[in-house]
Structures are given as C-alpha cells and as structure tokens.
Chain A
Amino acid sequence: MRKMNISKCLVGIAVLLAAPLLVSAQQVETHIGKVTGHADTGRQLYFRYCWGCHGFHGTGTGENWIPTGGFPDTPNLNIQPRNFVAATFKCRSTPTGTLPTDQDLYNSLVRGLTMSNMPSWITLTNQNRADLVAFIKTFSDRWKTDKPGPELSVPAEPALTVQSIQHGKELFTKLECWKCHGPEGRGDGPSASTLTDSNDEPIRPYNFAAGSRFKCGTTNHDLYKIFMTGLDGTPMPSFADVIKPEDAWDLVHYLRTLQVYHKSPELALWEGTKEGAEIVKAQKVRGTPTGSGVNQ
C-alpha cells in the first residue's frame, strides 16, 4: 500500500512537472507558412536584438526609451516602442480592437516600421522571425484568452481613373482626413499638434509628401488595409464601417498623388490633368536637400 502511494506520488509529481512543459509547448508555437516558430528560441533572439527598446518585460520601456522630459541632451526614441504586454498592434489585417495574425507580426519584423526606430529585420532568417513572433506572444495573457480577428478581405483593386482620384479627393475632405494629415497630406493639419497615442505621447500624422513607405507597408493593398483596420494605439481610426470598399480604393488612388516625390501610376495620371498638374506643382516645395533623403 505504501509502495503504491509512493508510486502514485511520483507519477503525480511527474505529471505536475510535465504539465507546464506541455502547456507551454502549446503556447509557444506560431505557424508562418511552412515555418513553425518556437518561443524558447525566440526568447534568446529577443534578448539579443529587441530588449534595448522593448525592455526585458516587453513593456516598451527598454533602456532607450527615455520619455520626453528625461535627460534633455539624450536623443530619445521619437515613438515609444511597442508594449507587448498591452498587445495592441498598429499593423494588422484584422479589425480594429482585435489581435493581429501571426503573419501580421511577422510582416512587421520583415519590413520594419517607418517613422520609428524599428528597423527591417529582413536579414534574419524566416525561422528567426517566426521564433520571435512566438516569444512576443508570451508577454500578454490576451493571446491565451482572445483569438486574432478575422482577416480583412481586400477586394480586387479597380481600374485607376481620373474620376477615381477625384472621388478620393472628395472623400479626403468629407472624411476630414485633412484635419490631421493636412490639406496637402503633409501631416500638418489643424489637429496634428494635439494628437497623442495610447501612451499619451505626442504623435505625428503621416506626411505623405515625405516618403514612399507607409507605416504598415508600401503597396496600395497595404494602404487600403491601413484605413480599413485603423492603426490601433494611435488616433488613426478604422473606416471599415464608414466607407464602402470601392470608395476606399478611390481614397487609395488619391493618397498616392499626395506622394509628390514618389513616382506612381496615380501621380502620373493625376499630373496629366490640368487640375492635377497645378496641384502637384504647388505641392512640390523646393528646398535644399538635407541629406535626410527628403527635399524640405
């Protein structure tokens, strides 16, 4: 009887010891295409590459995040690194307020986030990135209780026409995009200076004239997703419930014309019209190249 009790105890202890391993093994995997990411490996990579900004605890308070008001001569990061504990992510293919897919997080690692300190990690292997995604998901219990939202269905892009651009221009005014992004899309609208992110840190609206990359990608498809899903944690809302898909594509076509230093079919078509040529000419501010890659 005593032996039996000891055996049962040992089995019980073994099960108890093994249980967390089994549970954690289930929690730590991600699947990106054919690649399976493992959080244990991702942890090692995180503590090589990421903790300086995102912090040991994933709270976005690494040693490089010195909030405004810190040492005045210390170069701050212009945007607080992502707080993985909050599990609020800008770049998603899922509805606002929901968790992103593994692929969304993976894509952010591949391309980096423009206008922030987050570089592209394209030089890491696919496996490395999948492992990192798996580890990032261990920071928040939200990944245990919630599932990623349904992936946004992006309809095929309609043909590019002048009418489409003009309609997009009307929507830009009607939806009051200009209030933040400014009438010429330079990120200098009347509300721009008052905007803050979910950390109560000042945040600048995107300046279309300054670059070719968007926060969450470079393509028309990416731009469509940005305003249909919103950028969670920022003042940029989702317009999924406000505009129809065909209107969203018109807006995409118009926004492309605001990138006056970036060649695109939309800009070329727009400049081919009298109205567009005059607007683009006025928007091209001449200045001295600063070495920033942007004419200012």
Chain B
Amino acid sequence: MSHWDSTLMKRRMRYLAFSALPVILVLTILLADTRPVSALPIPGGSVRAIPAFARKYGMPCSSCHQAWPMLSPFGQAFKDNGYQLGNERDAPIYQNPAYWPVTFRMTTFWHRENENRMQVDDPTSTTGGQMQANVTTHGFDWSGLDFHTGGTLAKNVSFYVLPSSDNTGAFHFETVFARLDNLAGSSWFNVKLGKFELDNLLSEKRILTLTNVSGVYTNYHYQPATENNGLNPAFPLFTFGIGDNQVGLELMGHSKDDRTRYSASILSSNDGSPGLPTNRTYDGYFTFSQAFQVGSLGLQRVGAFAYIGQAPTYFQFTEGNTSGVPDNATYGVAGTGIGNESFYRAGLIGQFYVKKYDLTAMYFHSSDNKYLATGTPSNPAYGTLPVGARNATWNGALFESHYTPSPQLILIQRVELIRMSQQALPIAPGTPYIPGVSVPSSSFGNEDVYTFGGRYYPFISSRAGFAFHGEYAFSHQVGLSPITGQNLDFSSLLFGFDFAF
C-alpha cells in the first residue's frame, strides 16, 4: 500500500468516525424523545449549490463551498464578482456551445415531526369542541425541486434564474436577476435588478439544515404573535422576512480580496411577491462588513445590517363595496395599499474562524409599528387601535457553529433565541391571550430553537454533489398553544440524501 493510499484510508476512517457522531447523537435523541408529533409543511424556500459553476470552471465543490450549499470565503468572492473567477473561463464564448449552466437540486428523506399541543377535534365532544393533543407523524418524503441557472451573459454581465417548486411540483420564481458587474472597472460598483436574496452574510438560501423546524432561520422571519390576528377584515395580511427574496435594485461593492463589502438596496414593499400586490412604497436594506485576518486562525468578519420598511394597513377599495364593511380580501384594489406604517430589522453579525471550527453570532433588534403589530388599519374609519397598544419590539440572537474536519464532513449546531422586549398589547397576567385586547405575559411569543446535525459528502467532484444528511431540531414557543395558552414545542428529525447535478 502506497503512502498516499494509506493516508487516504486513514482520512476515510477518520471521516467515518466523525460521521458516526451525529448519527449516534440523533439516534439517542430519537430514542429518548417519546413525545407525540405533528404534520408540518415541508421546508419552503430553495437552497443553492451549483455544480453548473463547478463544471464550468472545473473546480471541486469544496473550492467555493465550505460544505455545499454554504459558501467559503472564496465562493463568496466568486459570487460577489458576478460569478467570475477572473480567468479565461468567465465569458460564455469560452464555453463549449452545448454547455448550458443548469443545476437541479432535490432531497429525499425520512422525517419525524412532533407538536406537543396541537389543536384537534375532541372525540368526546358532541358540540364540535376541540382539545389539545400531542401529535407525532413520520415517514418517507421528498423536498421541492430547484432548477438553478446562472452565470455570465458576457464579461461582467451576470444573471441568475431559479424556478423552484414545492414538493407537489407547483413552481414559482425564487430568483430572477441580471447584474452589471465591475462597473467602470471597479469592484466597488455592481448593480443588480430583479428578485434576489438580500445580501445577508448568513445566507438562508445556503442554509445547511433542512428540517421543518430549522429549514429557515427563525430570526429572519419572526413576527410577534399579536400580528395578523384576523380581527379586522380591512387589514391586509402583513408578512415579511429578511430571509425572503425581495424585488428591487441593489448596489453592491467589495474590495478585490472581498475583505470589505457593502450593499444598499431599494426594494418594492411587497416581500418579494410578483405583480405589485400590496403597496406603492419602497423599502431600503443596507449592509456593511469587514473581514480581518488573524494570524493562523483564519478570516474573521464583523458586519451590520438594517432593513427599513413599511407595509400597508388597508387598501383603496372599489365602489363595489356597498356593504359598508371594509373587506380588504374582497374589495381591496391590488397594489393600492395605503395607511403605510413602518417596521425595521437591524442587527450585527460576526463570523469567526478558529482553524476547523467556525462560529457565526448574530444580534437582531426589530420593531413593528403598533398598527402592524395589532392588525389595525391606521384610518379611524376602518378601525381603532386597541387600548394601550404600542409598537412591538423584540431582540434576537443566533449562534451557529460548524466543525469541518475535512471538505467531506461538517457538523452543525445552532441556537436561536427571540425575546419580546415590548408587547404590542397590554399585559394581563393570569388571563389567556385575547387578540386585540391583551397578552398574558411579557414573554408571550418568546421562542428558542436548537438544532444539531451533520452532513457527510462521500465524494467531492466538479460534476455533481451528494450528501448524507442527519439533523434534529427543537423549538419552544412561550404561551402559544392554541387552546390553553401553554408553551408550544415542535421537534423535527430528518435523515436523507441531498443531491445536485
């Protein structure tokens, strides 16, 4: 046996040993977790790993991905440079004419879901009563399908189009944009137009976890429990997440080595929906980050971000509404949302590497205007604010760490914490949550999410990707059980094959 063969075998054995750890961990949790379970939707959104780029440049996935789909600093620089390496393969004229930059990605898996207090029909009730039940479900399943196509149309003109489906095959456009790169020959000026992921350093589209509980970053989508309560039909649904792809124009720039990065975006205020369905205003998103090289430890990056937006609290209504009751769903004219009220999401991020270990830490501070937070139109003709209503504010924290002993294995751990700092409704201790009136405690709606997992890539190539995926996630929500207002817990366990070509 040659030195190389022996070295490879040792490495493989080490990978196998490491890969066994998360499996043992999740099996232990599975055996210990005998609580009942719930059927939740399959994780939404699409995640990105693009062998089409690996094939174009002839580089292994591990060049651009610390562990696909998560980018390495080299991959981030490639993306920031308009999917260009700066060598002679950037312009499409150098590709084989038959080359079409398409990648599909899909996941097949077994999963187990549990919800400790699900609202179900009470079989003993003769009047249609309901009760809480601990519900568990499990079985084999599959994810949605992503078709990624992206690259360069010409030197310094890049594009990305991503039709994405849910697991029933219903497609939508997750991403559609073209980008002018390195304007005036400077990496500081790149302009993107279309629907795209916000310039989040911790990319939700490249998230490493797949369960229903942890398939998205909770902090990126959190909205207080008092919102969208359905009390006032004139109030449109208010949904927003900085993890959602948004529609607009982005100016982004970076230093040649990508150590310094900034972006500024102007976005339509409709959370990425097509056809201007809500209002006619614009939001802004701003990011800045700086990386530092700290000795032999690796690259350390710190940054800040802020999303400043507004959302309508009622629409212009058609003359057909003669009922005297302002019903947004029936009579609201799409795209005419008015009575706009503000919200913001802001935070700090640090990404720290200590050789094979890395930690991302984020702090979030968010606020929704009291009209948005209580589901009230800001027009007295359509509704009045609840007594004592205030802006809802909350803080969040996220800690995600990885141990990457080799390009073929990554162990993942994440903790997310969300704490309400100001409830939108008055606090009435001892009283259950009454929509539009009061909440039972200052901690109502607080949420914790814990995730553990691992991915093992049995081969690394420049053609395709495959990963064994194992993950356990658990979330705890304060006071949100539907009937008794007790705490609500979800858990999700998943083992599967994640593959892309």
Residues of A within 8 A of B (CB): 41, 44, 47-49, 51-53, 56-57, 63-64, 73-75, 77-78, 112, 114-128, 289-293
A-B contacts, 26 listed (Cβ < 8 Å): A44-B406, A48-B60, A49-B62, A49-B63, A52-B58, A52-B59, A56-B4, A57-B4, A75-B56, A75-B58, A75-B99, A112-B86, A114-B88, A117-B57, A117-B58, A117-B89, A119-B57, A123-B74, A123-B77, A123-B257, A127-B295, A127-B298, A291-B92, A292-B94, A293-B155, A293-B156
Residues of B within 8 A of A (CB): 4, 8, 56-60, 62-63, 72-74, 76-77, 85-96, 98-99, 152-157, 256-258, 293, 295-296, 298-299, 406-407, 461-463
Q: In whole angstroms, what is the CA distance A133 to B426 when docked?
A: 64
Give the 8 A-B residue pairs with the shortest CB-CB distance, closest first: A291-B154, A64-B58, A119-B85, A293-B155, A292-B91, A123-B77, A52-B60, A48-B62
B-chain residues with CB within 8 Å of residue A293 when the two chains form the complex: 90-91, 155-156
A-chain residues with CB within 8 Å of residue B157 when the two chains form the complex: 291
Pick the contact of B73: A73, A119, A123 (CB < 8 A).
A123
Q: In whole angstroms, what is the CA distance A56 to B8 when docked?
A: 10
Question: Known contacts being A49-B63, A52-B59, is A119 close to B87, with CB within 8 Å?
Answer: yes
Do B87 and A118 have beta carbons less than 8 Å apart?
A: yes
User: At the interface, is chain B mostly helix, strand, loop or mixed?
Assistant: loop
Nearest Cβ on chain A to B137's Cβ, whole angstroms: 39
Question: Known contacts being A73-B98, A77-B58, is A290 close to B407, with CB within 8 Å?
Answer: no
Question: Known contacts being A53-B59, A112-B86, is A48 close to B293, with CB within 8 Å?
Answer: no
Q: In whole angstroms, what is the CA distance A128 to B296 when docked?
A: 8
Question: Known contacts being A52-B58, A124-B74, is A63 close to B462, with CB within 8 Å?
Answer: yes
Question: Known contacts being A73-B96, A112-B86, A127-B293, is A49 close to B74, with CB within 8 Å?
Answer: yes
B-chain residues with CB within 8 Å of residue A78 when the two chains form the complex: 88
Nearest Cβ on chain A to B255's Cβ, whole angstroms: 10
Pick the contact of B87: A41, A57, A73, A116 (CB < 8 A).
A116
B-chain residues with CB within 8 Å of residue A122 when the two chains form the complex: 77, 256-257
Do B87 and A117 have beta carbons less than 8 Å apart?
A: yes
B-chain residues with CB within 8 Å of residue A63 when the two chains form the complex: 461-463
In the complex, besides A48-B62, A123-B74, 12 extra interface pairs with C-beta distance below 8 angstroms are A47-B62, A56-B4, A64-B59, A112-B85, A124-B73, A126-B293, A290-B154, A291-B155, A291-B157, A292-B94, A293-B155, A293-B156
Q: In whole angstroms, what is the CA distance A292 to B89 when docked?
A: 9
Do B91 and A291 have beta carbons less than 8 Å apart?
A: yes
A-chain residues with CB within 8 Å of residue B91 when the two chains form the complex: 290-293
Question: Known contacts being A52-B63, A64-B462, A75-B95, is A125 close to B86, with CB within 8 Å?
Answer: no
A-chain residues with CB within 8 Å of residue B295 when the two chains form the complex: 127
Q: In whole angstroms, what is the CA distance A203 to B152 when docked?
A: 26
Of all chain A residues, the one with the shortest Cβ separation from B92 is A291
A-chain residues with CB within 8 Å of residue B256 when the two chains form the complex: 122
Question: Known contacts being A75-B96, A114-B87, A293-B91, is A52 close to B461, with CB within 8 Å?
Answer: yes
Do A48 and B57 have beta carbons less than 8 Å apart?
A: no
Do B98 and A292 have beta carbons less than 8 Å apart?
A: no
Do B88 and A115 have beta carbons less than 8 Å apart?
A: yes
B-chain residues with CB within 8 Å of residue A121 when the two chains form the complex: 74
A-chain residues with CB within 8 Å of residue B293 when the two chains form the complex: 125-127
A-chain residues with CB within 8 Å of residue B77 when the two chains form the complex: 122-123
A-chain residues with CB within 8 Å of residue B95 when the two chains form the complex: 75
Nearest Cβ on chain B to A65's Cβ, whole angstroms: 8
Nearest Cβ on chain A to B336's Cβ, whole angstroms: 42
Q: In whole angstroms, what is the CA distance A53 to B85 when docked?
A: 15
Nearest Cβ on chain A to B464's Cβ, whole angstroms: 12
Nearest Cβ on chain B to A292's Cβ, whole angstroms: 4
Q: In whole angstroms, what is the CA distance A292 to B92 when docked?
A: 8
Q: In whole angstroms, what is the CA distance A97 to B76 when docked?
A: 38
Nearest Cβ on chain A to B408's Cβ, whole angstroms: 9
A-chain residues with CB within 8 Å of residue B298 when the two chains form the complex: 125, 127-128
Nearest Cβ on chain B to A156's Cβ, whole angstroms: 28
B-chain residues with CB within 8 Å of residue A116 when the two chains form the complex: 87-88
Nearest Cβ on chain B to A205's Cβ, whole angstroms: 15
Q: In whole angstroms, what is the CA distance A102 to B190 when docked?
A: 36
Q: In whole angstroms, what is the CA distance A128 to B98 when docked?
A: 36
A-chain residues with CB within 8 Å of residue B56 when the two chains form the complex: 75
Q: In whole angstroms, what is the CA distance A75 to B155 when docked?
A: 19
Q: In whole angstroms, what is the CA distance A122 to B76 when docked?
A: 12
B-chain residues with CB within 8 Å of residue A120 when the two chains form the complex: 85-87
Q: In whole angstroms, what is the CA distance A53 to B461 when docked?
A: 11
B-chain residues with CB within 8 Å of residue A112 when the two chains form the complex: 85-87
Nearest Cβ on chain B to A288's Cβ, whole angstroms: 11
Nearest Cβ on chain A to B96's Cβ, whole angstroms: 5
A-chain residues with CB within 8 Å of residue B152 when the two chains form the complex: 291
Q: In whole angstroms, what is the CA distance A51 to B484 when docked?
A: 59
A-chain residues with CB within 8 Å of residue B72 when the two chains form the complex: 48
Q: In whole angstroms, what is the CA distance A41 to B91 when docked?
A: 34
A-chain residues with CB within 8 Å of residue B154 when the two chains form the complex: 289-292
Q: In whole angstroms, what is the CA distance A293 to B85 when docked?
A: 13
Nearest Cβ on chain B to A14's Cβ, whole angstroms: 21
Q: In whole angstroms, what is the CA distance A290 to B60 when docked?
A: 28
B-chain residues with CB within 8 Å of residue A64 when the two chains form the complex: 58-59, 462
Of all chain A residues, the one with the shortest Cβ separation from B84 is A119
Pick the contact of A290: B88, B93, B463 (CB < 8 A).
B93
Q: In whole angstroms, what is the CA distance A187 to B132 when docked?
A: 79
Of all chain A residues, the one with the shortest Cβ separation from B299 is A125
Of all chain A residues, the one with the shortest Cβ separation from B463 is A63
Nearest Cβ on chain A to B288's Cβ, whole angstroms: 18
Q: In whole angstroms, what is the CA distance A242 to B296 when docked?
A: 44
